[in-house]
Structure 1
Amino acid sequence: MNICIFEDEKYRKLLPLVYFRPVYELRCGIIPIKDKIIRSFSNPNVILHARDYLTEVLKRDYPNYYVNELPANINQVLFINGRVLADPHFADKFKYNGKDIAYIKGDDIVAFWASGENLEKFKNKFGTPLAKSDFENYEKIEISAKLINYPWDIINNNGEQIVIDFNILTDGKARREGKIYEGVHLLNEHFIHIEEGAKIKPGVVLDAENGPIYIGKNVKILPNAVIEGPAYVGDGSLIKVSAKIYENTSIGPVCKVGGEVEASIIHAFSNKQHEGFIGHSYLGTWVNIGADTNNSDLKNDYGNVKVYVDGELIDSGSMFVGLIMGDHSKSGINLMFNTGTVVGVSCNIYGSGLPPKFVPSFSWGGAEDGFVTYRIDKAIEVAKRVMARRNVQLTEIDEKLFRKIFELTEEERSKAGVK
């Protein structure tokens, strides 16, 4: 079976988290959205549709997939929206009955079949996000499905997705293969999975009484840390001494995390090593949170949090929204972020006072001094240095991507008065 995971025009509502990646590479639960879709099918041939400027990096990262092109001699494809949180039986919804049909949820295209002339039409759409107008001539069927529309949707669904992923990955047989030192406390241990190479030091409490805990390969959890499930810690990550990791938190691979974290997603290769609170937040890759940085995730009047989305301040409909921070951004020590703050990619924020609730990408400064543009050559130089510390090389493809995103974000800096 041929499936193509596509991006549509609503990707913009997930910026800045998706400047460096397609929407389906966002993490929700233990694995990225893309992997949830793929696993619901039986050995599918996978095609990835994405914005054109992401093609090179995707081809490098996924050499076994077709990216923004169709394989030769293919005559039928099931296209699936990359914002879908696919459940284990997702594939059962799409039995081909000899006719190209679009499956919808409200005003969203969840999936559609394309063959013949329709397939030729969409072949020309590779590199461009699909629009609702592309389906005017399609017969449409309403189905039940869950789609991600905003960053807080990912955060709010994270706990449930950890449980689903845990059950599938362990197949009901959680194992404890790492080194568990004397003095570690495992609560409801049948719902605690610890991969090989992990080290759990004395005094650690893993509390799975309210949800499962998945610890990846070569994770190190230092003494007296507490993790409450549902929770996930990815391969090669470090949980610092006395860290407090509360429920509904996913920490991706190769992160260093300390202090207090609640109901948040730290994508991968990011550090929040010191004291301070991060809650109901999503941090991208190569993020560094300075010591004693805190974010608010609840207003004093307990009202809905308003968040900037694609330049517009909207009501999230949620009481809890914390910090949304794009890739390669950093906060200085003792920084405070207001509820629902959005920080773009490659920002450097420091100083006292509350920064504005929207900081455009490639901004340098703080609440007192204001912001100036973070020069692209300097941003790339710093990124190279940071990535090298994790033995990751910033390649020509990555540098080209940086420069393209810098161009794409010029307008948001201009509108915010960043010069």
Structure 2
Amino acid sequence: MKLEQMKIKELLDTSHTIAEKLFEGHEYPWEVLGDINGFIESLGASLPENEYKKIGKNIWIHKTAQMAPTTAMGGPMIIGPKVQIRNGAFLRGGVILGQHVVIGNSCEIKNSIIFDEAQVPHFNYVGDSILGYKAHMGAGAVTSNVKADKGLVKVHAEDGDVETGRKKFGAILGDHAEIGCNSVLNPGTVIGRNSNVYPLSSVRGCVPSDSIYKGQDNIVVKEAREVETEQEAPEAPEKGKGGLKVVK
């Protein structure tokens, strides 16, 4: 995956997040991670009071959102329309949840933007990351956001490494990305649009759009599905042959 393919416009439809303006003026999605807190505080103050309620310090929750009573959270944070937050979720702050997002039981989220209709449904950790429109993480899948040596995170593109200048950076998931159960996305991972990661994977680097990650050296391009515009009527069975079609 080349650096050109990691630009915001290649990975994310920013019309599917209330944070659309945060991405303006930036080229790559990880560039906004350091600005999330300030953006929330600024945007939250302008949200309509008839739609959002403010609780605690800089936490804005849409009145249609559903939250389990066991949810733990700290600001700043914006929780959008019809979000579901289930038992034992821990939202640590710096979080923007789009409409119809699902945060499941025992999940932890911090300093991340979750686009509309994305799902983080069971035992997941998402830190310093961006999940695109309708992205989905299988049960137990996590983003690892700090390198073992505590060094600055790099993005490993085909045409060279990119310095992000960030000590904490988890992953970028393009729109419709699907992460298999119990997978680990190592620091600086980028998953392209419409791509799938097999369960139990440890992903380092980048997965191009429209691909399937089966292993570090086994990434295949998805085959395009042919859409049939017309469906032929089935042939009538021959007399005396029941419902079976006779092959001559």
State if a TM-score over 0.5 links the two structures. yes
- 2:24 corresponds to 1:83: yes
Distance 1:228 1:309 in 2: 35
Instruction: Quote the residue 2:72 is aligned against.
Output: 226
CA shift at 1:276, angstroms?
Answer: 1.9
Contact 1:303/1:319, CA 8 A, preserved across alignment: yes
Cα distance change of structure 1 residues 229 and 363 upon mapping to structure 2, 3 Å threshold: same
Contact 1:356–1:367, Cα closer than 8 Å, also in 2: no
Helix, strand or coil: the match of 1:155?
helix
Question: What is residue 337 of structure 1 aligned with on the other side?
Answer: 185
Aligned partners of 1:250 and 1:264 also within 8 Å = yes
Q: For the structure 1 residues 316 and 369, does the alpha-carbon distance in structure 2 shift closer, same or farther, using more than 3 Å as the test?
A: closer
One-letter amino acid matched to 1:286: K
- Does structure 2 retain, via aligned residues, the 8 Å contact 1:343–1:360? yes
Normalised TM-score (structure 1): 0.49
Q: Which digits, 9 at most, give the CA deviation of each residue in 1:199-251, with x for residues without a partner?
A: xxxxxxx6x34xx1111241101130112110111111111111011110111
From 194, 208, 220, give the equivalent of 1:346: 194
Distance in 1 (alpha carbons) for counterparts of 2:165 and 2:211: 28
1:303 aligns with 2:244: no
The structure-2 alpha-carbon separation of the partners of 1:223 and 1:287, relative to structure 1 and needing over 3 Å to count, comes to same
Alignment of 1:23-172 (within 5 A): 25=15, 27=17, 30-33=18-21, 83-84=24-25, 148-169=26-47
Query: 1:236: which partner in 2?
Result: 82
The one-letter code of the counterpart of 1:279 is: G
User: 1:272–1:289: 8 Å Cα contact kept in structure 2?
Assistant: yes
Divergent runs of 4+, >4 A: 11-14
1:312 Cα deviation from its structure 2 partner: 3.2
1:356 matched to 2:204: yes
Q: Distance in 1 between matches of 2:167 and 2:183?
A: 22
Q: Structure 2: how far apart are the matches of 1:20 and 1:360? A: 10
Separation in 2, partners of 1:275, 1:269 = 18
Contact 1:12 1:310 (C-alpha < 8 Å) held by counterparts? no
Write 1 or 2 for the structure with the bigger share of strand.
2
Identity in percent: 26
1:267 maps to which of 107, 115, 129 = 115
Task: Kindly state the Cα deviation for residue 327 of structure 1 after the two structures are TM-superposed.
Answer: 0.7
Q: Is the Cα contact below 8 Å between 2:178 and 2:196 reproduced in 1?
A: yes
Question: How far 1:313 moved relative to its partner?
Answer: 1.6
Conserved 8 A contact 1:305-1:321 = yes
Q: Is the 8 A contact 2:187 2:204 kept in 1?
A: no
Q: Structure 1: which 5+ residue stretches go unaligned?
A: 1-10, 37-81, 85-147, 178-192, 196-205, 382-419
Which one-letter code corresponds to 1:161 in the other structure? F
Q: What residue number does 2:214 align with?
A: 366
Alpha-carbon separation, structure 1, partners of 2:24 and 2:204: 28
Tell me what 2:246 maps to: none
* 3-state secondary structure, aligned to 2:70: coil
Taking the aligned partners of 1:26 and 1:267, their CA distance within structure 2 comes to 6
Question: Helix, strand or coil: the match of 1:316?
Answer: strand
Q: Is the 8 A contact 1:245 1:262 kept in 2?
A: yes
Which residue identity does 1:275 align to in structure 2? F
CA contact (8 A) 1:351 1:368 kept: no
Q: Any unmatched runs of 5+ in structure 2?
A: 229-248
- How far 1:299 sits from its partner (Å)? 1.0
TM score, norm. by length of structure 2: 0.80
Equivalent residue for 1:375, pick from 223, 241, 245: 223
Q: 1:289 maps to which residue?
A: 137
TM-aligned CA deviation for residue 310 of structure 1: 7.7
Q: Which has the higher helix share?
A: 1
Question: How many equivalent residue pairs?
Answer: 225
Amino acid at match of 2:174: G
Describe the shift of the 1:31–1:364 C-alpha distance in structure 2 as closer, same or farther (beyond 3 A): closer
Residue type at the aligned position of 1:269: E
Q: In structure 2, which of residues 100, 113, 131 is the aligned counterpart of residue 254 of structure 1?
A: 100
CA distance 1:325–1:314, change in 2 (3 Å) = same
The answer to whether 1:18 aligns with 2:9 is yes
